[in-house]
Structure 1
Amino acid sequence: MNKVTRLDNGTIEIILTLPWSDIKQVYDKEVDEAVKNTQIPGFRKGQAPRSQVEAKLDKSHLYSHSVQHLLPDLYTAAVKSHHLKPILSPQIKITQGQEGHDWEFSAVTCEAPVVNFTLPAKLPKELPEKLDFLRKQAAIKIPDLLVEEETNHRLTALAENITKLGLTTDQYLSTKRLTPTDLKGQTSQEARIDLETEYILLHIQVKQKLPDRKSALDYLQKLV
């Protein structure tokens, strides 16, 4: 039985239960394959006793491989049965894994935020002010997981650019008078604002049946 929990921060946690019988079945196939390809002194290749071959194998690796084989289908089935529409690959961690018992995993992801607002009769004149106004009015709840993903992407890109400039991260932070915590917080805030803006523009694009993002910006620019 899989359980879905919608968290306050906009993320979704799916508790996945992987039956021990399924894990054991894949594990046994892995061991059988190893027996076919293993040669132990005193036995021809593929003829060594299964117990001796299994004793030489890395069980944790075999179980890990078995789980990797089974989890994608289990996750996909849970998403389908609960009618979820995740927009990020799940962050999966094991919460229970003991031989002879069903294993449990936590899969954390998120759906696109809900955007529902009506364009007011009067808006500020300039586009940046219009977007600020709409962000406050719409009060979109961007999932923390989505903000984190975008923040990490931006920090990675920044680190690459810093390296291309021949600087170290410490040198860059020194010139900006920032600590690593300051930089991450600033980047996270910018990411959240930009994501809110993008979902507002997407909402306008869909509602007004416009072809693309630029058309949504042009439409918004003309409103007064």
Structure 2
Amino acid sequence: MVDVPKADIKEEEEEAFARLQQKLTVEGFRQGKVPKAIAEKHIHKDDLYQELAQKMISRIYQEVLTKESLKPIISPKVDLVKAKEGEDWQIKITVVEKPTIILGDYKKVIREAKTKAQKSNIWVPGKDKDAKKPEEDKNKLLNEVLTALLNEAKIEVSDLVIEEEINHRLTHLFDEIQKIGLTTENYLKSKNLTMESLKAQFKMETEDTYKLEFILAEIADKENLKVEQADLDKLFVNIKNEKERKMAVQNSYYYATILRKQKTLDYLISL
């Protein structure tokens, strides 16, 4: 909880008004040249407070991060607990950091999963005399390994992270449904789902996905698995379209993350 003195709010309000005044256009005056007395009649209180809150919360949030040495993984949840004119404000900022992860004996459970897979006649690296095993067997082995990791590791993912991803997935799904001319109700009916069961399904999938992402990143750190520039260069050189290649280079961090994850998966499969 952050308390903001009314004196600070007054100062922020004046700055917010000045910003809106610069954008204001009134007949007879050029943009940015509207006198304050006239601007006060055209700038709505709601717009002023929205501008004030956005800038002030952003500033306070950055100050909190610096002061507390926080490293959030998603945008914060902000609640204006108290925001009355002429009084101190109270702002509640909820920040989500990387969760604590206890990997457990992940090497042991992965080896056990591979032994189980071998007995089930699933392809295992180094155990296959026939080089032409189907790709689906590799996927089955990977699923066995990832399931073993999920069962062994101890990790709690924040509800805020889950909620944000569920909302994102729902928004995307509803957009796609609308594009094909269906209503949400008809779509759910065709899938024999309710909104509650759909959200529950998304929640379970999202929890497992995020847990695995954190677990794999933790293993990569523990095993010192890195992506070198040569790895990225090898990837980029295979992109024949020059425009796409330039865009990929500009997003090197994204591709480095993908390559590091793949290196981690390859390492686990090789155990």
Q: Using a 3 Å threshold, how does the CA distance of structure 1 residues 119 and 55 change in structure 2: closer, same or farther? A: same
Task: Find the partner of 2:77 among 66, 91, 99.
Answer: 91
Is the aligned partner of 1:198 residue 2:185?
no
Is the aligned partner of 1:119 residue 2:134?
no
Q: Using a 3 Å threshold, how does the CA distance of structure 1 residues 110 and 30 change in structure 2: closer, same or farther? A: closer
Distance 2:43 2:181 in 1: 46
Q: How do 1:44-63 residues align onto structure 2 when only pairs under 5 Å count?
A: 50=37, 54=40, 57-63=43-49
Counterpart code for 1:139: K
Q: How do 1:136-175 residues align onto structure 2 when only pairs under 5 Å count?
A: 136-175=151-190
Distance 1:77 1:17 in 2: 13
Higher helix fraction (1 or 2) = 2
Q: CA deviation at 1:199?
A: 1.3
Q: Which residue of 2 aligns with 1:7?
A: none
Assess if the C-alpha contact under 8 Å between 1:90 and 1:107 holds in 2: yes
> RMSD of the alignment, in Å?
2.9
Distance 1:189 1:46 in 2: 55
Q: CA deviation at 1:157?
A: 2.1
Q: CA deviation at 1:190?
A: 0.6
Distance 1:47 1:207 in 2: 62
Distance 1:47 1:183 in 2: 54
Higher strand fraction (1 or 2) = 1
Q: Which residue of 2 aligns with 1:73?
A: 59
Q: Using a 3 Å threshold, how does the CA distance of structure 1 residues 176 and 38 change in structure 2: closer, same or farther? A: closer
Look up the SS of the partner of 2:164 in the other structure: helix
User: Which consecutive unaligned segments of at least 5 residues does structure 1 have?
Assistant: 1-14, 40-44
Assess if the C-alpha contact under 8 Å between 2:102 and 2:154 holds in 1: no
Q: CA deviation at 1:101?
A: 1.9
Assess if the C-alpha contact under 8 Å between 1:23 and 1:67 holds in 2: no
Distance 1:213 1:88 in 2: 20
Is the aligned partner of 1:222 residue 2:270?
yes
Q: Using a 3 Å threshold, how does the CA distance of structure 1 residues 128 and 100 change in structure 2: closer, same or farther? A: same
Counterpart code for 1:150: E
Q: Which structure ranks higher in relative contact order (CA pairs < 8 Å, sequence separation ≥ 6)?
A: 1
| Deviations 1:142-165, CA, capped at 9 Å, x for gaps | 111111111112222222332333
| Deviations 1:58-117, CA, capped at 9 Å, x for gaps | 334323322322221111111111111111111212111122321111122311112232
Q: Using a 3 Å threshold, how does the CA distance of structure 1 residues 166 and 92 change in structure 2: closer, same or farther? A: same
Comparing 60-69 with 76-85, greater Cα deviation is found at 60-69
